[in-house]
Amino acid sequence: MTAAPTPPWSRRRVLGFGAAGAAALALGACSLDRGSSPDTDAEPEPKGDWSGTLLDPPFPKPDFTFTDVDGKPYPIVEKTKGKLTILFYGYTNCPDVCPITLNTLARAKDGIGSGPGSNPLVLFVGVDVDRDTPEVLKTYLNAIDPEFVGLTPTGKTKAEKEAMIVDSLAVIKQAAPEIGEPDEDGNYIVGHPSAVTVYTADDVAHRLYPSNVRQSQWVKDLPRLDKGTYT
Amino acid sequence: MSWWCSSSLKTWTWTPRPYLGSILIVLSVVALAGWWLLRGRHQDELVQARAGSQATAATGSSTGRSFAFVLGVVGLWACLDWPLATLGAGYLATAQMIRQILMVMVVAPLLLFSMPAPLAVRIFGWGKRLTVLRWLARPIVAVPAAASILVGVNAPAFVDYLVKTPYGAFAMDGAWVFAGFALWMPVQCPHPGVRRLTGGAGITYLIGQSIVPVLPGFFMTWSDFPIYRTYELAPRVFQGFDAVTDQQTAAAVLQVGGMVLLWVQISYRFLHWAYEQMDEDRAGRTGGKAMAEAGTATP
């Protein structure tokens, strides 16, 4: 069989289509939005096979009395004494980090099932003083894991409550929340620390976790922390 | 406007975000078809004559091909643009698997079916490129090629790495397209110089291929934890639809959806083949009767 002559100009044209398309894509890639890489890798990676960063010296617990979802006082140090405790600050209108972190923790708890690390005390502190009321927190956490403890700052005025949030965050060396500008509907976002502090039975935190820890990683770390191992 | 979709930690919104790259690709395919139509069809006969007896007869009417082309282009656009592409690249494994199934099981065969043989000849010619095409259209090459690509691009390490950037996501989509064409080439190659698997052989080939979506789906179904970091840590699109549920739904889409689409094709081919056999039998009987009558008339 001999090859049939194909007009060369048609091949050039077909190739031209491809080249033009490739050039347009390359141009687009260079000149336009380069896309948004996930921020999940932005936080420093911990060393070894732990997902959290080793704290040296360890962080103490914030010695403050918050208010729980039933309106009762909740002194953190007293209520969590000797227990594996996970402390996380966020807000109920948070669109991303808070629900992801809390859901991941809830599913990790399920994943551990029973034994060490299976029943950590998870404290979620609402930093949005205006919207995170005890009732709102209760509804929010019930949808994720009813065993999670929702806390709001205690105080007579908004300023007192905000000061309590800032002071308690300072204990674990985290920055104060920042309230964003409301949109036309009155909604606003709150910038807040996304770190998760885990306290072991000795009532100090030896490991600080970023918000992007996966379920499988929690399942690996929580039982070890519950047994008092952190290095 | 971004040029291609990629993962993001931004909260999902239903505000449209079209992608320049996907629009350009869809327009290029439409432009290629338009250019081909404007050239006229007078050269079709020449190409068919050149193909001669070795060519596999093209199936499908012109209307059917046009309809397949429109469906293929619409499917391609749906796969590559907002919202499916955006959801798939950064929010839901289910959306990503819907895209994959659409691309591999729907868009690729429709575009191959709709491509006129003369256009395939224009693109691949009769020389070395045709040799490569013939090689790719062999089941012994197509099956491992499609299977390894589909298993590879669904591996968590690849997915999490590729969807981070528009370049990676583009490469992944390209791999799907290649895998789709590889999978369907033995039964749907539009080039008249490539002998296609028809009838029972084609059906057997497609039944063999139906195992491909099962492989990646298996790990997604039985893993205790979300296997893809991207979808596990993505902002939720639907309340209550968590990462594990998403992953299991994605596995169902991949396995059940892929299987259903493949079996629709297999059933269609089986019926087509059965009717052809019946027609041949009928023609044989009619011919035999005519010959018998002619034989009795001849002294």
B123 contacts A14? CB cut-off 8 A: yes
| A154, A204 contact by CB (below 8 A) | no
Rounded to a whole number of angstroms, the distance from the CA of A73 to the nearest CA of chain B is 31
What class, spelled out in words, does domain A26-33+51-226 have in CATH?
alpha beta
B9 contacts A36? CB cut-off 8 A: yes
Q: Does B126 touch chain A (CB under 8 A)?
A: yes
* Residue B9 belongs to some domain of the structure: no
Q: What is the pLDDT of residue A30?
A: 34
Q: What's this model's pTM, rounded to 2 decimal places?
A: 0.81
By the 10 Å C-beta count (0-12 exposed, 13-18 middle, 19+ buried), B171 is classed as middle
What are the chain A neighbours of B166 within 8 Å (beta carbons)?
29, 34-35
> Which of the residue ranges A66-70, A179-183, B7-11, B268-272 has the most confident prediction, judged by mean pLDDT?
A66-70
**A133-169 residue pLDDT tens:** 999 999 999 999 999 999 999 999 999 999 999 999 9
Helices (H), A126-231: 134-142, 158-171, 215-226
Cα–Cα distance list, A173 to A20, A47, A57 (Å): 54, 20, 12
DSSP letter, residue B107: I
Q: How far apart are CA A167 and CA A162, in angstroms?
A: 9
Close Cβ partners of A103 (under 8 Å, ≥ 6 residues apart): A144, B236, B242, B243
- HSE (side-chain half, CA atoms, 13 Å) at B292: 6
The length of chain B is 299
User: To 10 degrees, the CA torsion angle through B34, B36, B40, B43?
Assistant: -170
pLDDT for residue A69 is more than 80? yes
| B79, B95 contact by CB (below 8 A) | no
Helix (H) and strand (E) counts for chain A?
Answer: 6, 10
How do the domains of chain A map onto residue ranges? 26-33+51-226
Nearest residue of chain B to residue A30 (CA atoms): B3
In DSSP terms, A207 is beta-bridged to A54, A198
Three-class DSSP category at A196: strand
Pick from B6, B10, B244: which is nearest to A107 by CB? B244
Q: Among the listed ranges B4-8, B16-20, B41-45, B101-105, which one has the minimum average pLDDT value?
A: B41-45
Q: What is the pLDDT of residue A34?
A: 30
Q: What is the pLDDT of residue B272?
A: 86
Amino acid at A44: P
β pairing state of A85-90 and A196-199: antiparallel
| B82, B17 contact by CB (below 8 A) | yes
A37 contacts B165? CB cut-off 8 A: yes
Cα–Cα distance list, B28 to A44, A149, B91 (Å): 43, 56, 28
In DSSP terms, B2 is beta-bridged to A33, B19
Pick from A4, A21, A34: which is nearest to B25 by CB? A21
Pick from A1, A36, A111: which is nearest to B8 by CB? A36
**Residues of A at the B interface, defined by Cβ within 8 angstroms:** 1, 3-4, 6, 10-11, 13-14, 17, 20-21, 24-25, 28-29, 32-40, 95-96, 99-100, 103-104, 107, 111, 143, 212, 214-216, 219
Strands of chain A, DSSP E? 53-60, 65-68, 73-75, 85-90, 121-126, 149-152, 178-179, 190-191, 196-199, 204-209
Rounded to a whole number of angstroms, the distance from the CA of B13 to the nearest CA of chain A is 11
Per cent of chain A over pLDDT 90 is 76
Number of domains in chain B: 1
Q: What is the pLDDT of residue B278?
A: 87
Q: Does B10 touch chain A (CB under 8 A)?
A: yes
Report the candidate in A178, A223, A176 with the shortest Cα–Cα distance to residue A198. A223
What are the chain A neighbours of B24 within 8 Å (beta carbons)?
21, 24-25, 28
Q: What is the pLDDT of residue A13?
A: 52
Q: pLDDT category, B57, cuts 50, 70, 90?
A: very low
CA dihedral sign, ordered B205, B214, B266, B33: negative
A25 contacts B3? CB cut-off 8 A: yes
Q: Among the listed ranges A29-33, A145-149, B32-36, which one has the minimum average pLDDT value?
A: A29-33
B28 contacts A21? CB cut-off 8 A: yes
Q: How far apart are CA A7 and CA A50, in angstroms?
A: 64
pLDDT for residue B221 is more than 50? yes
Three-class DSSP category at A151: strand
Q: What is the pLDDT of residue A46?
A: 64
Two tokens at B57? 């007869």
Two tokens at A200? 């072991």
Q: What are phi and psi of B7, to 5 degrees?
A: -75, 160
* Residue B291 belongs to some domain of the structure: no
| A109, A118 contact by CB (below 8 A) | yes
Pick from A17, A38, A111: which is nearest to B28 by CB? A17
A35 contacts B166? CB cut-off 8 A: yes
**Owning domain of residue B261:** 20-286
Q: How far apart are CA B176 and CA B161, in angstroms?
A: 16
How many other CB atoms sit within 10 Å of the CB of residue B146?
A: 23
In DSSP terms, B258 is beta-bridged to none
Q: How far apart are CA B84 and CA B77, in angstroms?
A: 10
Pick from B25, B28, B232: which is nearest to A215 by CB? B232
CA A67 to chain centre: 22
**B76-98 residue pLDDT tens:** 999 999 999 999 999 999 999 99
Close Cβ partners of B31 (under 8 Å, ≥ 6 residues apart): A17
**A71-105 residue pLDDT tens:** 999 999 999 999 999 999 999 999 889 999 999 99
**B237-266 residue pLDDT tens:** 988 888 989 999 999 998 888 889 889 989
* Residue B277 belongs to some domain of the structure: yes
A3 contacts B7? CB cut-off 8 A: no
- HSE (side-chain half, CA atoms, 13 Å) at B188: 25
* Mean pLDDT (chain A, rounded): 85
Rounded to a whole number of angstroms, the distance from the CA of A107 to the nearest CA of chain B is 9
CB pairs under 8 A between A and B: 118
B1 contacts A96? CB cut-off 8 A: no
- HSE (side-chain half, CA atoms, 13 Å) at A230: 24
By the 10 Å C-beta count (0-12 exposed, 13-18 middle, 19+ buried), B194 is classed as buried
Q: Among the listed ranges B55-64, B126-135, B150-159, B184-193, which one has the minimum average pLDDT value?
A: B55-64
B7 contacts A32? CB cut-off 8 A: no
Angle (deg, nearest 10), helices B44-51 and B117-124: 70
- HSE (side-chain half, CA atoms, 13 Å) at B81: 20
Q: How far apart are CA A118 and CA A109, in angstroms?
A: 5
